[in-house]
Structure 1
Amino acid sequence: MSKAGALDLAAGVGGKIDKSEVLSAVEKYEKYHVFYGGEEEERKSNYSDMVNKYYDLVTSFYEFGWGESFHFAHRWNGESLRESIKRHEHFLALQLGLKPGQKVLDVGCGIGGPLREIARFSSTSVTGLNNNEYQIARGKELNRTTGVDKTCDFVKADFMKMPFPDNSFDAIYAIEATCHAPNAYGCYKEIYRVLKPGQCFAAYEWCMTDSFDPNNQEHQKIKAEVEIGDGLPDIRSTGKCLEALKQAGFEVIWEKDLAVDSPLPWYLPLDPSRLSLSSFRLTSVGRFFTRNMVKALEFVGLAPRGSQRVQGFLEKAAEGLLAGGKKEIFTPMYFFLVRKPLSDNQ
């Protein structure tokens, strides 16, 4: 089980950052973004520092609100959020055609919620690639708790420079993670390199849709809110992702924005007009409770200074995601299944 209590949340804020330096880390992180005068090129050139600071600061909040799997999901009527998240992960495993004993790579694995679910569902060995030390430590602890530590592990590394030999993995996937890459082509090319010939890569990408208008100030504001709230150097369009995959050498089997025909909108958990007991902490009432709880914990010194600021930019992210979803200019589930040819001549 994930950490769930208020004191666990407070203790985790800042990750591996010294608690006395959390506020300073928040200020440095914020300065990367548009709202504080930051530039896209600066975010891209310093993406590793920016993303590491982001996940040190927010992982405890994510785990408190979402559990072990930090992603959205295509959702059916009558299906709970937790059920949809598991099915979203199973769908990925089925699309990849995973078989028992295969060696699989999870690119940008977080604390390993999907890794554990997919490993148990498919009886595969999954390696989680992550550049954040705190998340890896949490993931290893949860792997031991769930009993998959003998078949699944974590590697600390940048997914733009993977420490694996060519042709290492039978399958590779990424769930709402490669959006942190400063360059889609560079990231996909590394994935291509370490994937065995004839095998597949599947992912859910965060993207701006064709409805996004770069000349629309409201659209740009929404995009900037998502970037600061979610540690992103930039949000690419679906077309740019597809182009980068082809440039990297992949054959596209199929691709689709799964948000388009989802019976329930992916952003439903963030909608303030909605009440839910099963995902109470994500509702407006739950977020109000969390906001005031964090304020109190920081006031009495149980949470480090800067915790409220982290809660603040996560609230901004929720607002941006909700607005982007409703206006259909943003999707967190542009899905693609691609294949590495058996030879470079194919």
Structure 2
Amino acid sequence: MSKTGALDLASGLGGKIDKTQVLSAVEKYEQYHVFHGGEEEERKANYTDMVNKYYDLVTSFYEFGWGESFHFAARWNGESLRESIKRHEHFLALQLGLKPGHKVLDVGCGIGGPLREIARFSSTSVTGLNNNEYQIARGKELNRIAGVDKTCNFVKADFMNMPFPESSFDAVYAIEATCHAPDAYGCYKEIYRVLKPGQCFAAYEWCMTDSFDPSNQQHQKIKAEIEIGDGLPDIRSTRQCLEALKQAGFEVIWEKDLAVDSPVPWYLPLDKNHFSLSSFRLTAIGRFITKNMVKALEFVGIAPRGSQRVQDFLEKAAEGLVEGGRKEIFTPMYFFLARKPPSESQ
């Protein structure tokens, strides 16, 4: 069950940021990015502040538009967006071979939509790792409503420095989350540390594909739009992610860009030429209504100042994602399944 009303959206805007400070937080966030003169190294050095500001600012918008699971999915013809998202989560659980009683870690769990779905699907206990207070508070409330609060929990921490002993988990997964890490190797190495020997890590990564040309200005513009609209320090290539996994010590069982074979384009929900009643809020008309609703709520003082600016950079992200998908230079679902060797000597 997700927030659905305009007043719910307005009350959540800004997350844990004081409502009077939302505009200054938006301005600070924007300054990290290329469109406002920001540099990649500054984004990496200050990724904790940047990503926290981002999720405080956008979580209510995400939940209003997407529901509880903030990710894309490969999709079959005739399948709804919601059905495809659930299947995407179930697929990951099956690849990991999750069994009742397993202790599982969700790295960068958002408000816990996938966590709850996977826990119920596999009868496992899932710990959600997140560094954003507002999302954790919202996730705990949704866990209680879903009745999984006794078996699933949240830990506030940075995934570059996890507060867990070595070999704590039977499985680890990340869904479109570790793209926020300033360094893929450092993040994967920490995941490797907390995973039990012989067990697996699976993820959907946001990546630039082999078709991305760094010397192409249009390609660079699309990449910059995705980075500002989605709180990313830098978007790595699929090859960089694969190399970082191996350097961290993982055996890569298999990897593939699942966007390639998706019968329905993953970016279709954001395409302005597409209309859907089931995901109406993501369509051009739905986003136009949301934009004007936020404008009105900000004007009358219900939504904090700066809310419309957040809507603007999310719109920029949507444009970048659609163009990146059409040109096949970007994917949100580079999938890999990797295993920690049964013994360190291997």
TM-score category, normalised to shorter length: over 0.9
Aligned mates of 1:331, 1:222 — CA distance in 2: 12
Report Cα offsets for 1:284-330 as digits up to 9, x if no partner. 00000000000000000000000000000000000000000000000
Instruction: State the 1:127 CA deviation.
Output: 0.0
The match for 1:306 is 306
Aligned mates of 2:194, 2:345 — CA distance in 1: 18
Aligned mates of 1:334, 1:93 — CA distance in 2: 16
1:218-233 alignment runs, 5 A limit? 218-233=218-233
Aligned mates of 2:274, 2:102 — CA distance in 1: 41
Secondary structure, aligned partner of 1:297 = helix
The match for 2:188 is 188
Q: Which amino acid aligns with 1:139?
A: G
Aligned mates of 2:327, 2:4 — CA distance in 1: 33
Instruction: State the 1:178 CA deviation.
Output: 0.1
The match for 2:266 is 266
Instruction: State the 1:189 CA deviation.
Output: 0.1
Q: TM-score, normalised by structure 1?
A: 1.00
- Answer yes or no: is 1:335 the counterpart of 2:329: no
The match for 2:143 is 143
Q: Which amino acid aligns with 1:190?
A: E
The match for 1:212 is 212
Instruction: State the 1:344 CA deviation.
Output: 1.9
- Answer yes or no: is 1:93 the counterpart of 2:93: yes
The match for 1:58 is 58
Secondary structure, aligned partner of 1:17 = coil
Secondary structure, aligned partner of 2:70 = coil
Q: Which amino acid aligns with 2:315?
A: E
Secondary structure, aligned partner of 2:28 = helix
Aligned mates of 1:275, 1:70 — CA distance in 2: 20
Gap regions ≥5 residues in structure 2? none
Aligned mates of 1:107, 1:304 — CA distance in 2: 30
- Percentage identity across aligned positions? 88
Instruction: State the 1:342 CA deviation.
Output: 0.8
The match for 2:15 is 15
The match for 1:163 is 163
Secondary structure, aligned partner of 1:139 = helix
- Answer yes or no: is 1:326 the counterpart of 2:308: no
Count of residue correspondences: 346
Q: Which amino acid aligns with 1:309?
A: R
The match for 1:29 is 29
Aligned mates of 2:271, 2:56 — CA distance in 1: 26
The match for 1:175 is 175
Q: Which amino acid aligns with 1:253?
A: I
Aligned mates of 1:10, 1:296 — CA distance in 2: 11
Aligned mates of 1:172, 1:344 — CA distance in 2: 18
- Answer yes or no: is 1:39 the counterpart of 2:39: yes
- Runs (4+) of structure 1 exceeding 3 A deviation are none
Aligned mates of 2:212, 2:179 — CA distance in 1: 17
Instruction: State the 1:52 CA deviation.
Output: 0.1
Secondary structure, aligned partner of 2:170 = strand
Aligned mates of 2:61, 2:149 — CA distance in 1: 25
Q: TM-score, normalised by structure 2?
A: 1.00
- Answer yes or no: is 1:199 the counterpart of 2:199: yes
Instruction: State the 1:58 CA deviation.
Output: 0.1
Instruction: State the 1:345 CA deviation.
Output: 1.9
Name the Cα RMSD after superposition: 0.3
Instruction: State the 1:200 CA deviation.
Output: 0.1
Aligned mates of 2:286, 2:212 — CA distance in 1: 30
Report Cα offsets for 1:100-129 as digits up to 9, x if no partner. 010000000000000000000000000000
Q: Which amino acid aligns with 2:152?
A: C
Instruction: State the 1:31 CA deviation.
Output: 0.1
Gap regions ≥5 residues in structure 1? none
Aligned mates of 1:33, 1:272 — CA distance in 2: 25
Aligned mates of 1:23, 1:216 — CA distance in 2: 33
1:233-244 alignment runs, 5 A limit? 233-244=233-244
Aligned mates of 2:21, 2:86 — CA distance in 1: 36
Q: Which amino acid aligns with 2:275?
A: L
The match for 1:112 is 112
